[in-house]
Amino acid sequence: MSVHIAAQKGQIAKTVLQPGDPLRAKYIAENFLEDIKLVSKTRNVFYYTGLYKGKEVTVGASGMGAPSIGIYSYELYTEYDVDTIIRIGTCGGYTSELNVYDLLNVENAASESTYAKYSWEIEEDLLPHQGKAFSVINDTARNLSKELKTTNIHTSDIFYRKNPGIPEIAKKYNCSAVEMEAFALFANAQYLGKNAATLLTVSDIIPTGEYISADQREQALTPMIELALEAAINL
């Protein structure tokens, strides 16, 4: 048991898929894994461990934002000996060169967040994915003929803001999209020497207002879930 996860040691796999939403974790476990076991439901943040094509995988939520994924990923890495976390989430496109449903593998996350600085004295505002998971995901996508773009993204602490323009940091680092978690995940993995990747499905295009509706989302995320699980086999 850790402070925020009730699983016993040994009940969490070496590879964890981490959506933001606990109900998405439940959906993935129930629809893609076999022999599933609910290993934690503290705060209704569900963690399930099961088998994907014989490989043990845990799927559990991060919650929203850097502080939340910071807590869950830290406890997974340090209390449960997790080697690799693949965040699977949605993002908003900053450019109409992206389309809804596009699948992105994050190369670097740029952020104004103080998370890395005040947790680990990491001063950079651009952090790379950690370890081999990013390239395993790229290779897996190529083998499955799944279209996947690699890109820098902006991890923002803010969803609603006064100024609708693209924030300076996103322009500076050529970020094509925005989400709210990858930077903190990469910071923890960098400090702890672990593997971390972030796969994102573009759920909305900010300049045009186009978006995937809530009831289309479950279906829309299937290619990302399958890619993350297939990559997990190759880790």
Q: Which CB sits closer to ligand HPA, 56 or 112?
A: 112
Q: Does 165 bind ligand HPA (CB under 6 A)?
A: no
Catalytic residue among 21, 83, 157, 204: 204
Q: Does 102 bind ligand HPA (CB under 6 A)?
A: no
State in angstroms the smallest separation of the CB of 107 from ligand HPA: 18
Count interface residues toward ligand HPA (CB under 6 A).
Answer: 11
| Options 91, 106, 148, 170; binder of ligand HPA; rule CB under 6 A | 91
Q: Does 92 bind ligand HPA (CB under 6 A)?
A: yes
| Options 131, 203, 224, 235; binder of ligand HPA; rule CB under 6 A | 203
8 A C-beta contact, residue 44 and residue 22: yes
State in angstroms the smallest separation of the CB of 149 from ligand HPA: 16
Stretch that binds ligand HPA, among 73-81, 101-109, 162-170, 173-181 (CB under 6 A): 173-181
| Options 5, 25, 82, 180; binder of ligand HPA; rule CB under 6 A | 180
**157 an active-site residue?**
no
Q: Which CB sits closer to ligand HPA, 56 or 210?
A: 210
* One-letter-per-residue 3-state SS of the chain: CCCCCCCCCCCCCCEEEECCCHHHHHHHHHHHCEEEEEEECHHHCCEEEEEECCEEEEEECCCCCHHHHHHHHHHHHHHCCCCEEEEEEEEEECCCCCCCCCEEEEEEEECCCCHHHHHHCCCCCEEECECCHHHHHHHHHHHCCCCCEEEEEEECCCCCCCCCCCCHHHHHCCEEEEECCHHHHHHHHHHHCCEEEEEEEEEEECCCCEECCHHHHHHHCHHHHHHHHHHHHHC
Stretch that binds ligand HPA, among 4-12, 90-98, 132-140, 183-191 (CB under 6 A): 90-98
Q: Does 106 bind ligand HPA (CB under 6 A)?
A: no
Instruction: Give 209's contacts (C-beta < 8 A, 6+ positions apart).
Output: none
What positions carry a catalytic annotation?
204
Given the rule CB under 6 A, which residues bind ligand HPA?
90-92, 156, 159, 178-180, 203-204, 206
